[in-house]
């Protein structure tokens, strides 16, 4: 599986609202993993963004969130999840927070990737492949077929 982005991010804990520095990996399948260190031995949390992520906001868009000490508000990243909760993160710079935002949104946009060994590439497939519609040409009443 391909790694899209990794690096150090501050993460706000859910209960005590304390900021912790974690190593973060964002995988092509939409898994955002938080580790204690960059050796990736101790997994602290895993969030599946493919289905859970609704929106990602950065910087001044993040109202109501106080950044960790010595970090400006422009470094904030807030991931809004489907269950109504928020994942509050903080990068080391404004540019880094924007790069994380774009990568997180890209992960959310592309539903699922499968590896094609013949092309040595990843191909996007529909999120729910059982919802794919197959239509035979000329099927249905009349001669024209319109899908909206």
How much is the pTM? Answer: 0.72
Question: Does position 117 have pLDDT exceeding 60, yes or no?
Answer: yes
Pair 52, 40: CB distance under 8 Å = no
Mean pLDDT score across all residues of the chain: 83
For residue 72, being part of any structural domain is answered with yes
In a domain, 103, yes or no: yes
29-73 tens-digit pLDDT: 889 999 999 999 899 999 988 888 889 999 988 888 999 999 999
Q: Which residue has the higher pLDDT, 112 or 39?
A: 39
90 CB burial (10 A radius; 0-12, 13-18, 19+): buried
Residue 138 lies in a domain: no
- Domain span at residue 118 reads 3-12+20-130
Nearest C-alpha neighbor of 58 from the set 86, 22, 100? 100
Tens digits of residue pLDDT in 68-86: 999 999 999 999 999 999 9
Residue 143 lies in a domain: no
Provide the CATH number for the domain around residue 108.
Answer: 2.30.29.30
Tally of structural domains, the chain: 1
Q: What are phi and psi of 121, to 5 degrees?
A: -145, 170
Percent of all residues in the chain with a pLDDT value above 70, rounded to a whole number: 78
142 in any annotated domain: no
């Amino acid at each position: 599986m391909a790694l899209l982005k990794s690096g150090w991010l501050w993460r706000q804990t859910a209960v005590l609202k304390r900021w912790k520095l974690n190593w973060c990996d964002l995988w092509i399948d939409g898994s955002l993993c938080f580790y204690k260190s960059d050796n990736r031995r101790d997994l602290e949390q895993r969030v599946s963004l493919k289905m859970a992520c609704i929106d990602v906001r950065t910087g001044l868009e993040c109202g109501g969130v106080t950044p960790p000490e010595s970090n400006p508000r422009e470094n904030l990243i807030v991931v809004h999840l489907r269950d109504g909760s928020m994942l509050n993160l903080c990068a080391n710079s404004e540019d880094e927070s924007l790069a994380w935002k774009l990568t997180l949104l890209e992960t959310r946009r592309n539903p699922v990737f499968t590896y094609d060994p013949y092309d040595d590439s990843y191909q996007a497939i529909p999120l729910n492949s059982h919802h794919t519609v197959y239509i035979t040409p000329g099927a249905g009443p009349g001669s024209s077929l319109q899908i909206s």
